[in-house]
C-alpha cells in the first residue's frame, strides 16, 4: 500500500482540507515521518505514552500489544507522530492517543487506518463519550448555567449533525472537530470499517478501545441517522427486506449485534443483555411499542403480515435451530409475533412460541392468524408483554 502513495505538498500545507484529502494527508504524513525520524527503543516508546497519558493508559496498551517490539508500532500522541518502526511494511500496530472527537470524517480516518494495517493488525484509539462530555461541561460552568449549556450542546453537537437538512451546515461551521459521539456509534463505525472489537475500557474521563483488522470496510452507504430507518431482516423464502422502525438505538448500532450478544448474552425478554446501544429516551418509546408502528408500511408494501414470526437479522436467524430456520421462511414475517400473542418472553420461550404457531399454521393459516391477532392485541392493551 505504501509504495503507491504520492507526495502532495498542497495537502501538507493545508492539513485542514476536506474530503478524501484528509485521508491522504494522514498517509503522506505517515511516510514522511517514517523517513525523517529515527526509530524509538522500547524505553522511549513507553516513556512517551507515560508522560502524555499516564500509568493506567500505559498499562492498558501494554496488555494489548507488545511494546518491547516498538519497531512494529506507529505511535501518535495528540496528533504528533512518533514513529517506532524501521520499515513501513513492518507496521502491525497503530496507537493513536488523540481522541477521535477531533476528527472531521471518522469513516475516512478509520478506512485509512485499515489500509495501513495487515490482516490481524491492531489499532488502539480513544474517545470522549456522552457521559464524560456532560461531566466536563458541568465542571466548567456554574450550577445555574449547566443545564442550559448542556441542552444547547446536545442540540448543536448531537441532534443537528445527524439531520440530513442541517448536517451540512454543522460541518461548515464546526468542521466536525467538536464531535459528540456515543460508545455505540464509535464501536459501530469501527466494525463498519473492517475491525473487530477486542476491548473497550474507560480510564478517567476517556474511553480507550483496541480493535483488530479482520476485513475490508463495508460498502454499504445508506447509513441512517434520522428517527425513522430501515433494518435488514429475513422474511419469506430467506429474502432480505428493509423493515421500518423508529430509531431507539444510536447510529451504527446494527453493526454491533454480534459484539453485544457475545459479551452479555440475552436477557429474560430474549433481547441482548446490557445493551448500551439503546438510547435513554427510547425506553418510553419501546414500553409503548411505538417503535414498531412504522412496520405497517411494510404491511402495505406486502413485505410483512400483521401476524407472523419475528423478522430477524442474519445473526439472529442463524442463532436459531436449523429446523426452525427451515420452517419459518415458509411464511412471511409479521408485526405481531407469536410470543406477544402468548404473553411469553425469554429466548427459549420465544422459540417455543414460534414452533407452536408454525405447527398451527400448517393446519389452518387464516384461523391461526385470526386467533393470534386478537390474543396479541389483548396482551398489548393490558401491557402483559414486552415489545416485539
Place of cell 412460541: 353
User: What CATH number did the domain enclosing 18 receive?
Assistant: 3.40.50
**Residues 61 and 90 reside in one and the same domain:** yes
Q: What angle do CA 304, 261, 311 make, to 5 degrees?
A: 5
**Residues 292 and 372 reside in one and the same domain:** yes
Instruction: Tell me which residue range forms the domain holding 345.
Output: 228-381
Would the pLDDT of 14 be above 70?
Answer: no
> What pLDDT is stored for residue 45 in this prediction?
78
**Residues 113 and 137 reside in one and the same domain:** no
> What pLDDT is stored for residue 184 in this prediction?
94
**Residues 196 and 264 reside in one and the same domain:** no
Q: Mean pLDDT across the stretch 8-35?
A: 38
Would the pLDDT of 38 be above 90?
Answer: no
> What pLDDT is stored for residue 67 in this prediction?
80
Q: How far apart are CA 124 and CA 302, in angstroms?
A: 46
Q: Mean pLDDT across the stretch 48-58?
A: 89
Does 219 fall in a domain?
Answer: no
**Residues 42 and 154 reside in one and the same domain:** no
**Residues 118 and 146 reside in one and the same domain:** no
Contact yes or no for 106/125 (Cβ under 8 A): no
> What pLDDT is stored for residue 83 in this prediction?
53
Q: Which residue has the higher pLDDT, 207 or 103?
A: 207
Alpha-carbon separation of residue 159 from 34, 132, 165, 180, 226 (angstroms): 40, 18, 11, 10, 9
242 DSSP β-pair partners = 232
Mean pLDDT, the chain, rounded, equals 81
Q: How far apart are CA 131 and CA 319, in angstroms?
A: 33
Does 388 fall in a domain?
Answer: no
Give percent of the chain with pLDDT exceeding 70.
83
Would the pLDDT of 201 be above 90?
Answer: yes
Does 28 fall in a domain?
Answer: yes
> What pLDDT is stored for residue 359 in this prediction?
94
**Residues 82 and 140 reside in one and the same domain:** no
Q: How far apart are CA 165 and CA 293, in angstroms?
A: 25
Q: How far apart are CA 103 and CA 82, in angstroms?
A: 19
**pLDDT tens per residue, range 270-320:** 677 888 888 877 777 877 777 888 999 999 999 999 999 999 988 889 889
**Residues 169 and 290 reside in one and the same domain:** no
Integer Rg of the chain from CA:
24
Does 223 fall in a domain?
Answer: no
Would the pLDDT of 249 be above 90?
Answer: no
Q: How far apart are CA 19 and CA 16, in angstroms?
A: 10
> What pLDDT is stored for residue 31 in this prediction?
42
Q: Which residue has the higher pLDDT, 324 or 167?
A: 324
Q: Which residue has the higher pLDDT, 99 or 175?
A: 99
Burial (CB < 10 A; 0-12, 13-18, 19+), residue 89, is exposed
pTM, entire model: 0.74
Would the pLDDT of 18 be above 50?
Answer: no
Does 218 fall in a domain?
Answer: no
**pLDDT tens per residue, range 212-234:** 999 999 987 667 777 788 888 99
Would the pLDDT of 185 be above 70?
Answer: yes
> What pLDDT is stored for residue 384 in this prediction?
60
**Residues 193 and 75 reside in one and the same domain:** yes
> What pLDDT is stored for residue 40 in this prediction?
59
> What pLDDT is stored for residue 279 in this prediction?
84
Place of cell 507496521: 91
**Residues 80 and 39 reside in one and the same domain:** yes
DSSP 298: H
The torsion angles phi and psi of 272, rounded to 5 degrees, stand at -55, 130
> What pLDDT is stored for residue 3 in this prediction?
32
Q: Which residue has the higher pLDDT, 257 or 323?
A: 323
Q: Mean pLDDT across the stretch 356-369?
A: 93
Q: In the structure grid, which three cell numbers stand for residue 198, read together?
A: 477486542
Contact yes or no for 120/212 (Cβ under 8 A): yes
Q: Which residue has the higher pLDDT, 355 or 346?
A: 355
**Residues 334 and 366 reside in one and the same domain:** yes
Does 202 fall in a domain?
Answer: yes
Q: How confident is the model at residue 186 (pLDDT cuts 50, 70, 90)?
A: very high
As for how many domains the chain has, the answer is: 3
**Residues 153 and 187 reside in one and the same domain:** no
Range of 89-93, 267-271, 375-379 with top mean pLDDT? 375-379
Nearest to 40 by CA among 94, 83, 91, 74: 83
Does 186 fall in a domain?
Answer: yes
**pLDDT tens per residue, range 110-139:** 998 998 899 999 999 999 999 999 999 999
Q: How confident is the model at residue 331 (pLDDT cuts 50, 70, 90)?
A: very high
Other C-beta atoms lying within 10 Å of the C-beta of residue 195: 25
> What pLDDT is stored for residue 80 in this prediction?
57
Q: How confident is the model at residue 82 (pLDDT cuts 50, 70, 90)?
A: low
Nearest to 98 by CA among 60, 67, 127, 121: 127
Would the pLDDT of 79 be above 80?
Answer: no
Does 280 fall in a domain?
Answer: yes
Amino acid at each position: 500500500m505504501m509504495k503507491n502513495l504520492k507526495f502532495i505538498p498542497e495537502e501538507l500545507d493545508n492539513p485542514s482540507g476536506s474530503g478524501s484529502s484528509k485521508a491522504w494527508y494522514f498517509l503522506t504524513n505517515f511516510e514522511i515521518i517514517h523517513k525523517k525520524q529515527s526509530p524509538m527503543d522500547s524505553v522511549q516508546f513507553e516513556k512517551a505514552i507515560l508522560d502524555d497519558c499516564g500509568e493506567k493508559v500505559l498499562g492498558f496498551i501494554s496488555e494489548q500489544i507488545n511494546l518491547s517490539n516498538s519497531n512494529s508500532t506507529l505511535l501518535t500522541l495528540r496528533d504528533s507522530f512518533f514513529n517506532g518502526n524501521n520499515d513501513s511494511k513492518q507496521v502491525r500496530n497503530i496507537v493513536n492517543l488523540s481522541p477521535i472527537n477531533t476528527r472531521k470524517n471518522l469513516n475516512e480516518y478509520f478506512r485509512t487506518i485499515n489500509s495501513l494495517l495487515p490482516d490481524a493488525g491492531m489499532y488502539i484509539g480513544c474517545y470522549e463519550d456522552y457521559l464524560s462530555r456532560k461531566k466536563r461541561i458541568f465542571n466548567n460552568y456554574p450550577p445555574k448555567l449547566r443545564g442550559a449549556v448542556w441542552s444547547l450542546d446536545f442540540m448543536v453537537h448531537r441532534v443537528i449533525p445527524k439531520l440530513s437538512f442541517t448536517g451540512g451546515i454543522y460541518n461548515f461551521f464546526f468542521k466536525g472537530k467538536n464531535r459528540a459521539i456515543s460508545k455505540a456509534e464509535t464501536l459501530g463505525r469501527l466494525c463498519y470499517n473492517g475491525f473487530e472489537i477486542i476491548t473497550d475500557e474507560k480510564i478517567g474521563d476517556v474511553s480507550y478501545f483496541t480493535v483488530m483488522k479482520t476485513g475490508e470496510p463495508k460498502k454499504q452507504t445508506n447509513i441512517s441517522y434520522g428517527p425513522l430507518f430501515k433494518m435488514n431482516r429475513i422474511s419469506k423464502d430467506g429474502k432480505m427486506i428493509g423493515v421500518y422502525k423508529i430509531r431507539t438505538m444510536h447510529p451504527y448500532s446494527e453493526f454491533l449485534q454480534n459484539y453485544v450478544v457475545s459479551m452479555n448474552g440475552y436477557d429474560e425478554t430474549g433481547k441482548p443483555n446490557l445493551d448500551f446501544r439503546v438510547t435513554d429516551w427510547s425506553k418510553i418509546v419501546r414500553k409503548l411499542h411505538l417503535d414498531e408502528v412504522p412496520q405497517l408500511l411494510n404491511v402495505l408494501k406486502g413485505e410483512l403480515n400483521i401476524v407472523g414470526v419475528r423478522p430477524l437479522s442474519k445473526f439472529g436467524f442463524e442463532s436459531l435451530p436449523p429446523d426452525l430456520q427451515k420452517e419459518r421462511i415458509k411464511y412471511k414475517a409479521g408485526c405481531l409475533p407469536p410470543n406477544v400473542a402468548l404473553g411469553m418472553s425469554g429466548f427459549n420461550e420465544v422459540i417455543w412460541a414460534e414452533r407452536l404457531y408454525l405447527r398451527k399454521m400448517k393446519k389452518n393459516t387464516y384461523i391461526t392468524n385470526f386467533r393470534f391477532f386478537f390474543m396479541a392485541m389483548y396482551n398489548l392493551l393490558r401491557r402483559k408483554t414486552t415489545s416485539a
